[in-house]
Structure 1
């Protein structure tokens, strides 16, 4: 699961016993060599879908980490791109990465639950960050995203179909979540990172309750499951009306 350039087991143990912020500060130099980073295949498929649905002017990568989502935005936004994260270490790595010509890019240290922006973005994306928020925090998070989008702006995030209950993958993720719950019950500060805490229906209804109109765009590159549902799709939440219709 980890490349030779990735963190050692001892480093992961120290990170897991830290706060989320401190843990990612420590992990940042090796984060891109872990399975926690969103795969290039998902990033590329997201770019393709957004290029078809644009154009977009300004973009925000929420919980940007080392900037992989910023690189997505730089391919689909014309005016400017912002990466926001509360880990100083992750932002330092993101800033240091060399990038080709593109729109102006800025980096902001910010808590996603209290974003320091007004309604100035046409597109907000987030990759692999929802597991760092408790279900009770999602309404506030979605309200923050709604606040920083212009009318007609979109909040887009890829979601992978959950593993079938009883499968090995489901058992592994369930076990991981159980270990994290025990860790957080006996150790402070907490490290919030769960894979199965946010259910698809809760995500859908939470976005609608925040004022979004929600659609789901299958990413055909990943095929479909036996029941016909997409293996990977984009959740596309729109604020208000937009020139192009929102289709699924």
Structure 2
């Protein structure tokens, strides 16, 4: 939920009418007081699921925002973790928060890079890449290029991992809320430029899996048991683990 320290309705409207980069620059000072920040239970669950796949030397938090994903990487990586984002405002907040809450006196070292995820400047520099809640900013046609850039950033055998929630049922209020949001964003982008790309229902597992395979990854799903199971016994959430071939 939004708190009194979070953005006002007017500030959110201004963000939504901006470009993605400018919108997040505007939102950055109050981002951690919104429901958009990745909740701690997700970070802890991903850390727990990734630990048996390590050890890792160098980790990359893709679209790091204010740096929440570093909470996953710091316990897993022995040498270095990097947060990358194209919003200068979000990176500035990330640096400040990290210096205050996670002072690093030894390995892993922490660094920050401003870059577009579609044009990552790294080449075989990381063993592990994670991302949380950012893929709604990429259209389906962007996935092949995005996965190719991530693959280029990973060493042979490196891992890309990100959590996925189970598909929503059309009988739930959450499904209607997500569908309504996506419809509103499509209308907004049809009427105003530059577009603000953010959709909730454009990354179905079947399509994502196919794009990962074509990009040169082998993938599997690891249940995140912390979130329980649905009535049919399937997990409510899973970690998609894609390993560079």
- TM-score category by the smaller chain? over 0.9
1:9-48 equivalence runs, <5 A: 9-48=9-48
Identify which of 215, 225, 229 aligns with 1:210: 215
**C-alpha deviation, 1:100, in angstroms:** 3.6
Report how many residues are paired: 240
Three-state SS of the structure 2 residue aligned to 1:155 is strand
Identify which of 118, 122, 133 aligns with 1:128: 133
Unaligned runs of 5+ in 1: 241-248
Structure 1 stretches of 4+ moved >6 Å: none
1:88-237 equivalence runs, <5 A: 88-97=88-97, 98=100, 99-101=102-104, 102-237=107-242
Structure 2 Cα separation of the partners of residues 165 and 228 of structure 1 = 19
Unaligned runs of 5+ in 2: none
Structure 2 Cα separation of the partners of residues 198 and 77 of structure 1 = 28
Structure 2 Cα separation of the partners of residues 239 and 180 of structure 1 = 33
Structure 2 Cα separation of the partners of residues 162 and 31 of structure 1 = 26
Structure 2 Cα separation of the partners of residues 121 and 166 of structure 1 = 42
Three-state SS of the structure 1 residue aligned to 2:151 is helix
Structure 1 Cα separation of the partners of residues 2 and 166 of structure 2 = 23
**C-alpha deviation, 1:166, in angstroms:** 2.5
| Range with bigger deviation, 139-148 or 49-58 | 49-58
Q: 1:42-75: per-residue Cα shift (whole Å, max 9, x none)?
A: 0011111122221100000000000011221111
Q: 1:130-178: per-residue Cα shift (whole Å, max 9, x none)?
A: 1000000001000111111001100000111121013111011100000
Q: Which residue of 2 aligns with 1:52?
A: 52
Structure 2 Cα separation of the partners of residues 207 and 227 of structure 1 = 27
TM-score for both structures, normalised by structure 1:
0.95
Q: 1:1-41: per-residue Cα shift (whole Å, max 9, x none)?
A: 21111111010000000000000001111111111111100
TM-score for both structures, normalised by structure 2:
0.96
Q: Which residue of 2 aligns with 1:2?
A: 2
Q: Which residue of 2 aligns with 1:87?
A: 87
| Range with bigger deviation, 66-75 or 87-96 | 66-75
Q: 1:174-193: per-residue Cα shift (whole Å, max 9, x none)?
A: 00000000000000110000
CA RMSD in angstroms comes to: 0.9
Three-state SS of the structure 1 residue aligned to 2:229 is coil
**C-alpha deviation, 1:227, in angstroms:** 1.9
